Amino acid sequence: MIDNNLTIGVFGIGLDVYWEQFEVLKTSLEGYLDTLCGKFSGQNARVVNGGIVDTIDKAFETGKTFRREDVGLVFLYVGTYALSSTVLPVVQKLNAPVVVLNLSPAAQIDYNSFNDLKDRTLMTGEWLKYCSACPVPEIANVFQRVGIKFYQVTGILENDQVVETEITEWIEAAHVTHVMRNNRMGCMGHYYSGMLDIYTDLTLQLKYFGGHFEHIEVEELTALKNEVSHADALKRVEEFREKLDVQDDCTDAELLRAARTSVAMDKLVFKYKLGSFAYYYKGTGNADNEDTMSSMILGNSLLTGNGIPVAGEYEIKNAQAMKIMDSFRAGGSFTEYYAMDYNDDVVLMGHDGPGHIAIAEGRTKVRPLKVYHGKVGRGLSVEMAVKNGPITCLSILEKGDGELVMLVAEGHTVKGPILQIGNTNSRYKFPLGARAFVSDWNSHGPAHHCAVGVGHIASKLDKLSRILGMQMKRVC
């Protein structure tokens, strides 16, 4: 099985000499840390609580525990002043991002009650519960100097929506990082000849995302297809009819042909433990392979809707973008410009081939096509629009200097006429207008494909880019 389980390490800090001086301080900090850990319940992660680290010995011990547990994200809860020397050993060898939580137990000190304590020892102990901001510059200085990635969340421990959102988004971004680092992408066939923009350096992809690329021969899928039983094909046809809106002009023969290839694709995915897939193959001169490649759209749409995104035209960069969007539970459908509608100020966007049926507006239609434009073969295709509402576009672009960049835009899909041509297509409206969006997006030099997901998730993508060490450019 693919390891998609993120492990979070959480620890608080304190100064051991305080405990004898202020007897309730440590108990209070431990309670605050438990409150913090409660925020992680229901998150898509396992939590390792390192407790309050207040000595060098405890720091080294906690660091070993986090490494042993394969922690992928650290939350450092700063509850009071502590020495940076008790922080560094916890995270230095971990190679994981650290989120420094500068969280006060309340919005302000109750000054009247505080000053009424009169006993200055009690007063100092109470003040130290609110002293979270004090050591953060010291910790930041050390992290900067030794090269540890760190990020900050500043606010109130409880009932602070900004804090809640930030913590959740950091967890989601770290989870997606973990998914990508463990993802196996199947690559079958070759690039669409002449599309220079989609060519990519696979080692560069591994540098940023990790994971693995499994190169697969078309003949292997064809062989699996030829072994699919008639009974299994019929079951898959039933699944097509259940999950898709199969139009009356789709023949039983074409449905069975698509079903056999779909069952074979599932077996291929299982064999290689694939989490995403990119494919294209001309298929000319080999009737069996042409039959395989021209019958993949329905099955690959099911896979895409089930969390295994499939990109046509061997668009590996966009398969990565689709996997990212799907791992954020936003979908991620294969998309390119179709046309401009200047009267309605929208951009028509879509693509032939598989669609992300889980984010479709209504049921996805299945239509027969006499030709696949620009490609060999004919067969069944899907026609869908992305759900009306907020959307995010993501493109992974490769720069000439050997760096990858995330290009992001937020907009909306809107109601209106679409092209009923048997492809995915939707109407997109962007806050800066259709003309400016297209010009600004293109100015960054992306490939002509992108992944579209539902919801506005640019802030999450920004956190992901920071963890990955990748620049993110936002158009809108």
Position 278 pLDDT exceeds 90: yes
Position 49 pLDDT exceeds 50: yes
Indicate the pLDDT class of residue 50, thresholds 50, 70 and 90: very high
In angstroms, the first-to-last Cα distance of the chain is 38
Q: What percent of the chain has pLDDT over 90?
A: 75
Give dist(CA 225, CA 202) in Å, integer. 28
Tell which residue, 370, 388, 387, 366, has the closest CA to residue 379: 370
Position 453 pLDDT exceeds 70: yes
Edge-to-edge strand ranges of the sheet holding 73-78? 45-53, 6-13, 73-78, 98-104, 150-156
- Which range, of 108-117, 192-201, 467-476, averages the lowest pLDDT? 108-117
389-408 pLDDT, tens digit per residue, is 999 999 999 998 989 999 99
The whole-chain average pLDDT of the chain stands at 92
Residue type, 153: V
Q: In the chain, what are the domain boundaries?
A: 6-180, 183-474
Q: What is the predicted pLDDT for the residue at 345?
A: 96
Give dist(CA 333, CA 321) in Å, integer. 9
Q: Are 140 and 150 in contact (CB under 8 A)?
A: yes
325-362 pLDDT, tens digit per residue, is 999 999 999 998 889 999 999 999 988 778 899 999 99
Q: Which long-range contacts (CB under 8 A, 24 or more apart) does 259-262 make?
A: 259/228, 259/232, 259/233, 259/234, 259/298, 259/299, 260/225, 260/228, 260/233, 260/236, 260/295, 261/221, 261/225, 261/292, 261/295, 261/296, 261/299, 262/236, 262/296, 262/298, 262/299, 262/300, 262/302
Tell which residue, 219, 253, 221, 192, has the closest CA to residue 375: 192
Q: What percent of the chain has pLDDT over 70?
A: 98
Q: What is the predicted pLDDT for the residue at 1?
A: 42
Position 241 pLDDT exceeds 90: yes
Q: What is the predicted pLDDT for the residue at 423?
A: 79
φ, ψ of residue 254 to 5 degrees: the values are -70, -35
Mean pLDDT of 116-131: 84
What residues does 151 pair with on adjacent strands? 99
Q: What is the predicted pLDDT for the residue at 374?
A: 61
Fold of the 6-180 domain: Rossmann fold (3.40.50)
Q: What is the predicted pLDDT for the residue at 377?
A: 67
Q: What is the predicted pLDDT for the residue at 350?
A: 87
Indicate the pLDDT class of residue 96, thresholds 50, 70 and 90: very high
The pair of structure tokens assigned to 362 is 């209504």
Give dist(CA 288, CA 410) in Å, integer. 42
Position 296 pLDDT exceeds 50: yes
Indicate the pLDDT class of residue 3, thresholds 50, 70 and 90: low
**Whose structure tokens read 């319940």?**
41
Does the fold of domain 183-474 match that of domain 6-180?
no
Q: What is the predicted pLDDT for the residue at 372?
A: 66
In angstroms, how far is CA 91 from the centroid of its own chain? 24
Position 2 pLDDT exceeds 60: no
Query: Does the domain made of 183-474 have the CATH classification 1.10.3470?
Result: no
Q: What is the predicted pLDDT for the residue at 467?
A: 96
Position 82 pLDDT exceeds 80: yes
Q: What is the predicted pLDDT for the residue at 437?
A: 96
Q: What is the predicted pLDDT for the residue at 408?
A: 98
Task: Give Cβ neighbours of residue 317 (< 8 Å, ≥ 6 apart).
Answer: 198, 200, 205, 395, 396, 397, 398, 447, 449
Indicate the pLDDT class of residue 449, thresholds 50, 70 and 90: very high
pTM of the model: 0.94
Mean pLDDT of 30-49: 89
- Secondary structure (DSSP) of 387-420: PSEEEEEEEEEE-TTS-EEEEEEEEEE--S----
Q: Are 391 and 454 in contact (CB under 8 A)?
A: yes
Mean pLDDT of 109-124: 84
Residues in the chain: 476
